[in-house]
Chains A and B, each alone.
Chain A
Amino acid sequence: MNKWSYKTQRKLILIAFLAVPLALLGMFTYYPAARLLYQSFTDWNGVSASSTWLGFDNYREIFTNPALFGVFLNQIPYVIIGIIQNIVAILFAVILNSKLKGRNGFRVLLFLPFMMNAVAVAFMFQYVFDTSNGSFNGLLGFLGLESLQQSWLGNTSLVNYSLASIGFWRFMGYNMVIYLGALQSIPADMYEAAKIDGSNRFQTLWYLTLPNMTKIIQLNMFLTLSGALAVFDLPFVLTKGGPAGASETFLLKTIQTAFQFNNFGLASAMSIVLVMLTAIILLIQNAVIKRKGD
């Protein structure tokens, strides 16, 4: 390569280094996205060579059929539990950032669930939540709370909270470590100053720690929101959307529409709707963070 001038080399490297990554990006992201957009206006069934142009019919179907757009209601518990999860994670980050014996041990322990295989965790909780043999009902019985014993994954109004709490168990420690990182980047002399000014622990938390973390908290809130929008794995593994469709999510429904009911046209339109909603959340996030940044 040395024979060429650096100018030529730059051109060669530019092409050689970008070719494969961009080809992969085009092939597995943009080509499929474009196909999705096209298919979303058709009634393609996934097999046949031809399909009929439907215009906006699929989209009309999504927004008017409560069985489709309505499943987003099932995803509200994921938002609620997700917000609680962030609050608890901040609490533990603050606790484990303070002077404490065994601090590192607790950090390691709370992060442990995140390192366990997601699917294994799901089945572990299927056992925990099992109605007759489950350890959670057993625990409630042990505490004399038999009246609270439930079919945690079989009760239509509870199933989404049960599923979301599995996410809580797995991700709280992960969030905590992220918040710990944010806490550790707050300069120590600010705390010294607060101490000298005589502010108590609560004041320090409220007026110093939290304001310094707004950016990362906002970011995590938006991640919680967009994550809740695209919930898939837990209901897919544990409930298949049941009982009676109570734990169906929009993405689960999209996949079923395509691969079980062979309605690729409608499924494509649903995918596009999901992408649009994610994009909207991201745009709002950017706007909020920019405004705060000024």
Chain B
Amino acid sequence: MQTKKWDPVQGLKYIILAFATFVVLFPPYIIFINAFKSANEGANPFALPESFLNIDNFVNVFVRANILQAFSNTAIIVIVSLIGNIVLGTMVAYVLGRIDFRGKSIVIGAFLFAMIIPAITTQVVVFSLIQSLGLYNSLAAPILLFIGADVIQIYIYLQFIRNIPYELDESGMMDGASLFRIYRSIIFPLLGPATATLIILKTINMYNELYIPFLYMPRQDLVVVSTSIMRFAGNNQAQWGNISAAILLIMIPTTVLYLFLQKYIFSGVMNGAVKG
């Protein structure tokens, strides 16, 4: 082994990274220490709490911000939407990737153009539509809005389908399999990696979505993660101990999940960006 010379550029890199680390961790650190403080512990945000065993704020938040309900509602919405969305998305991709028909470019164009319409703007109209369907204040409202296939998903799937040799379909037909069977037993499983990418991207999006649950599910027990913290912070203005505890409770599950799945999440985001 050669001994390495001191490299100033390498040193500079570490200085920049140290600064970035500070910027990333500083806000969560403040939240962390203040979540354990009771209201009479003074306003200095840097002071350590009297005791890290003081979990009053967490107990309070757990009950009043409906954290459990929020997570279970969010989970229902995400899981049901994902299942529906993956089924629909792979179906569209199968048709567009494997069947020639007139008007194919119109169908792709329709999905493409839909992307440029910011979803929030159309809520003005969608709102009355959801109401007339009787879905206002139900979990079905966001699910119905999340379930549809979008153009990025279709592009990702199409990229994959083009790489699945058509000979596989043909050998299926040779065995007398129906086209539905070919879709279900050959194409769908082989789209697995693309599906994994999409599960990651879509879960992040749905988890962060604020306006759709806010608009369509104002009822208390239909709270999701985004609206729970919003309501709680709105009702407890400047009670930083409580708000910090709420933020912490919301952040911990996804952070832990992320640390376990970071490899897949990275590749999911990279694939999504390069192909989308």
Contact = CB atoms under 8 A, between A and B. Distances in A.
Interface of A: 1-2, 6, 9-10, 13-14, 17-18, 20-22, 24-25, 27-33, 35-36, 39, 46, 91-92, 95, 98, 100, 106-120, 123-128, 130, 132-135, 138-139, 142, 169, 173-174, 177-178, 180-182, 185, 201, 216, 230, 232-233, 236-237, 251, 254-255, 258-259, 264, 267-268, 270-271, 274-275, 278-279, 282
Given A6-B173, A116-B255, A275-B117, 6 more contacts: A17-B94, A24-B144, A28-B122, A115-B204, A126-B233, A254-B121
B225 interface: yes
Interface of B: 9-10, 13, 16-17, 20-21, 23-28, 30-31, 34, 43-46, 88-89, 91-92, 94-95, 99, 101, 107, 110-111, 114, 116-118, 120-126, 128-129, 144-145, 147-149, 173, 176-181, 183, 204, 207-208, 210-211, 225-227, 229-230, 233, 238, 240, 243-244, 246-247, 250-251, 254-255, 257-259, 262, 265-266, 269-271, 273-274
Nearest to A99: B10
B10 A230 contact: no
Contacts of B243: 123, 127
Contacts of A173: 24
B229 A271 contact: no
B183 A275 contact: no
B251 A117 contact: yes
Contacts of A133: 43, 45, 238, 240
Contacts, number: 250
A158 B143 CA distance: 38
Contacts of B94: 13, 17
Contact of B124 (A119, A135, A264): A264
A136 B99 CA distance: 58
Nearest to A36: B125
Residue of A91, A109, A135, A178 contacting most chain B CB atoms (<10 Å) = A135
Residue of A115, A201, A271 contacting most chain B CB atoms (<10 Å) = A115
Given A27-B129, A118-B208, A178-B269, A138 B247 contact: no
A217 to B, nearest CB: 12
A36 B124 contact: yes
Given A181-B273, A233-B210, A138 B46 contact: yes
Contacts of B121: 36, 251, 254, 270-271, 274-275
B178 A110 contact: no
Given A113-B24, A181-B270, A230 B124 contact: no
Given A36-B125, A110-B20, A275 B270 contact: no
B134 to A, nearest CB: 15
B250 A120 contact: yes
A139 B25 CA distance: 14
A185 B273 CA distance: 13
B230 A177 contact: no
